[in-house]
Structure 1
């Protein structure tokens, strides 16, 4: 079944946006190349950018459920464009720090909204397929962005921010053409009125953290992200220390990018028929073995083989983690629940990369990769135990091979579909006033980038 036009408008918009968004690495190069901040201040600027990204997950998801994911994306992009242009002319350290925090937030605030919008515009059984393709666009944009940024930094550094602004406005224009958001869900827990709506949004942010299976899932997500994000810190340094040139390192990481683009569209078909937690077990296992395998790598070939293994885990994880969350989000909370996932993943930026580097510097990279392997196996076991927790079961038939009334892993006496705020027969992410979709076969089983980069 073909995906609707609205999805492709969102796909192209996000891809263009990621192509133009300035990555933190090039922000550092811009600041130090032009001498705008002292070298000792650069980590502060980057840290504030990262803090904005972490905050965006929770806030962005709640705002998207409050005013609609389409409105959230469209409203954020002109502000992003304005902040990007201000970056081009700012030269005071306080202004640069403030802009870093704001642009970090704006650069990722659309991600939970994008996942929520997909839930609203594609039939339920196509969510995994649509989200996999969505991540392909994300990876294409993020892969080409460094090439464009490097060229602009050499030719005209200020153009970095002009391109960022233009790509944001194009994103807004494309998503503006998506059909309007349905009216927000109104029920006893979400009364009308601005004050009541804000209180409801605040309660919604905490809601995923009150369901045992989602608390466990988010904790395991955080730990898995701590493993994966070594790709941005310890892994390149280990490759350089093993004698690989910058070109060799670029080739190894390019293998990851190419495989991600090629394999992501195949994931929903490959995992069809599996229970919801099985792809997560496989993803964690591949990441554990892949990053742990770096302990044996000492040349470009062996590092590439290890990269292939953890890339298999990445492409399984990104769409199926988002699907896992989407299947358990009550009506009207789809973006908020996706935001909790992005919060857990992005929080690992603050902990995972620095901790990995500290361990490597203190005990060597071999110790780091063996520790990563051990942690990854613990995470793998954790995902295997998810069916034992309250809240694992969804609606009858929502997992392949399940029979109504006999959800595997459900707690005795629990009713499928009884997660907080849900009602029998409600569709995840769709309010009662939404335009009805064709009767959907329950989703095969899941962002994520969101690889970061966010999944990637």
Structure 2
């Protein structure tokens, strides 16, 4: 552990520590948000679903704006702004008693709450040399999973006493995180070349046109959208499928998620280091292949033991694909455009999140639920082929470059 700590610069560990604290607050609140909304406003899951849709749609715009600002204003400024807004909205939620106003707050949370995300991810690429990017994003994932393990437990204890304590606790943790970032985290935005003109805000936002014209990167995003459409079944259709089709108690699903998080915390960095010598797009294909096997298997298995085995297969795939995906996204970008590239990489989850759970829900409600997993297998297969095709395309490009030198 000491050796691992010494291999990375101190500001990187400050960022990781701040992430654990801030995300613990997020995970204290998020699992209980639907319970709070239905109890406080006396509404059903339709209204809750609408709010989550508002989160997602405005979050896309927030991420786009945040990516441009991270490249123009700086990483640290945007991380601080995102943390400040997170704490402020947590307090404001307690004060809102009107449902329509609550939707307005939800739109604000989605827009501004995601604004610091691209800056935080760009900081990792800024702080570390390229050969450490995959390991850095692996540690970032471990931090995220630690928060995902701790946060709901603390949140559950608080929610029993009062939902207001959840939001106050999140605001307090946001304040602590902001102080740590302000004092101990340096600005990591790469210095602009002396002869390079400074971008206006309009030019920073307009810079997304360069991102969208990068055909290799956009193909990578398209393939990643296919794979995200598979993975998001983990938190949408899977718990309902386990309950309705296999009569599992919800705590069994919760146990599988806890096992998933524990495996990531224990083995993520070790696995990333073991696989670092292999081409990243090939590893992405391997992770996608394991997703395909795992999610498709839900349509054929029964019994707790097999569900545990399949969840382990999916978790290994997740540990392979997640850090590789972020590393590749950062690799496609020049230093001065990392924020914008990583913001667009966020589309690979946000876009399918807008409609895939709804479509899969329609299948579960009106057809054989196993078709959700058959379709997941098809999408996963396409993603696996897509990553391998991108790898062969990259190799072909390298050959052309070598032959022209």
Give the TM-score normalised by structure 1.
0.82
Pairwise CA distance, 1:95:
1.7
Counterpart among 16, 19, 26 of residue 21 in structure 2: 16
Aligned to 1:67: 73
Counterpart among 137, 147, 150 of residue 156 in structure 2: 150
1:362–1:23 distance in 2 versus 1, CA, 3 Å: farther
Assess if the C-alpha contact under 8 Å between 1:6 and 1:178 holds in 2. yes
Root-mean-square deviation (CA, aligned residues, Å) is: 2.1
Paired with 1:42 and 1:31, the residues of 2 have a C-alpha distance of 7
Assess if the C-alpha contact under 8 Å between 2:124 and 2:133 holds in 1. yes
For residue 163 of structure 2, give the secondary structure of its aligned residue in structure 1: coil
Pairwise CA distance, 1:238:
1.1
Aligned to 1:252: 256
Pairwise CA distance, 1:411:
6.3
Pairwise CA distance, 1:348:
1.7
Aligned to 1:231: 234
Paired with 1:73 and 1:45, the residues of 2 have a C-alpha distance of 24
Aligned to 2:135: 129
Aligned to 2:3: none
Aligned to 2:169: 163
Aligned to 1:361: 365
Q: Which runs of 5+ in 2 are unaligned?
A: 1-5
Aligned to 1:348: 352
For residue 296 of structure 1, give the secondary structure of its aligned residue in structure 2: coil
Pairwise CA distance, 1:105:
3.4
Is 1:77 the counterpart of 2:83 in the alignment? Answer: yes
Counterpart among 278, 282, 304 of residue 300 in structure 1: 304
Paired with 1:126 and 1:412, the residues of 2 have a C-alpha distance of 26
Paired with 2:44 and 2:275, the residues of 1 have a C-alpha distance of 50
For residue 385 of structure 1, give the secondary structure of its aligned residue in structure 2: helix
For residue 140 of structure 1, give the secondary structure of its aligned residue in structure 2: helix
1:353–1:41 distance in 2 versus 1, CA, 3 Å: closer
Assess if the C-alpha contact under 8 Å between 1:252 and 1:304 holds in 2. yes
Pairwise CA distance, 1:385:
0.4
Pairwise CA distance, 1:40:
4.5
Assess if the C-alpha contact under 8 Å between 1:24 and 1:49 holds in 2. no
Assess if the C-alpha contact under 8 Å between 2:68 and 2:204 holds in 1. yes
Aligned to 1:410: 397
Counterpart among 271, 276, 284 of residue 280 in structure 1: 284
Aligned to 1:269: 273
Aligned to 1:185: 192
Assess if the C-alpha contact under 8 Å between 2:81 and 2:116 holds in 1. no
Deviations 1:71-97, CA, capped at 9 Å, x for gaps: 110122222211111111111122211
Assess if the C-alpha contact under 8 Å between 1:240 and 1:246 holds in 2. yes
> After the TM superposition, which residues 204-223 of structure 1 pair with which residues of structure 2 at under 5 Å, given as runs?
204-223=207-226
1:183–1:262 distance in 2 versus 1, CA, 3 Å: closer
For residue 311 of structure 2, give the secondary structure of its aligned residue in structure 1: helix
Paired with 1:369 and 1:212, the residues of 2 have a C-alpha distance of 30
Paired with 2:402 and 2:205, the residues of 1 have a C-alpha distance of 26
Give the TM-score normalised by structure 2.
0.91
Paired with 1:158 and 1:218, the residues of 2 have a C-alpha distance of 39
Assess if the C-alpha contact under 8 Å between 1:36 and 1:93 holds in 2. no
Q: Which has the higher helix share?
A: 2
Assess if the C-alpha contact under 8 Å between 1:243 and 1:299 holds in 2. no
For residue 191 of structure 1, give the secondary structure of its aligned residue in structure 2: coil
Paired with 1:58 and 1:332, the residues of 2 have a C-alpha distance of 15
**Count of residues paired in the alignment:** 395
Q: Choose 223-232 or 20-29, whichever is displaced more.
A: 20-29
Deviations 1:264-308, CA, capped at 9 Å, x for gaps: 112331212212211110011000111001112222111111111
Aligned to 1:385: 389
